[in-house]
Amino acid sequence: MTLNSALEDLRSTTLKAISGSLRRLEYFAGLRDREGTYTHWGLARIHGDLAAHKALEQEHRYVVSRILSTPLHRLLVDVEQSSRMAGTTPALYLDGLIQNLDLLPPQPGAGSARHFNSMLRALSGLIKVRPDAIRLIS
């Protein structure tokens, strides 16, 4: 018998190993198939498929909500860290995020997709116009 819920387990184990909101967002998007079903072998094995799916979807939505409420200057720092971990430049990292149409959870909420895309484009514009923007705010 487990003492933690699937969500608590996810937060205390898996997500501790992933730094940065944008990297976590990519992680959740990668766990979802074309039908929108989240799959995580370890969580499903311990908590069952339904509980694992619900925890992953709930945390995916939470990560999106946190990103959308984070000031751009903090997201620039996240972009720097995430791009470094991905082994690419901040500009290329953001271009990859902009091209990925499946980053958001299913039915993300009214205006969330537009807000998210606007935020990514604003960050990309800042990085391209002022490549030193990250260094200036750090």
Residue with the bigger pLDDT between 117 and 130: it is 117
- What is d(CA 82, CA 134) in angstroms, rounded to the nearest whole number? 12
Contacts of 67 (CB under 8 A, 6+ apart): 21, 22, 25, 75, 116, 119
Q: What distance in Å separates the CA atoms of residue 39 and residue 42, rounded to the nearest whole number? A: 9
In the block, tokens 């909101």 appear at 21
The pLDDT score that the predictor gives to residue 88 is 95
For the chain, percent of residues with pLDDT exceeding 90: 72
What is the reported pLDDT for 106? 85
pLDDT digits (tens, 9 = 90+) for 78-114: 999 999 999 999 999 999 999 987 899 988 777 888 9
Three-state SS annotation for 21-56: HHHHHHHHHHCECCCCCECCHHHHHHHCHHHHHHHH
pLDDT band at 76 (very low <50, low <70, confident <90, very high): very high
Q: Which pLDDT tens digit goes with each residue over 57-70?
A: 999 999 999 999 99
Mean per-residue pLDDT of the chain: 89
Give pLDDT tens digits for 3-13.
689 999 999 99
Is 15's pLDDT higher than 80?
A: yes
Q: Tokens at residue 108, please?
A: 């993300």
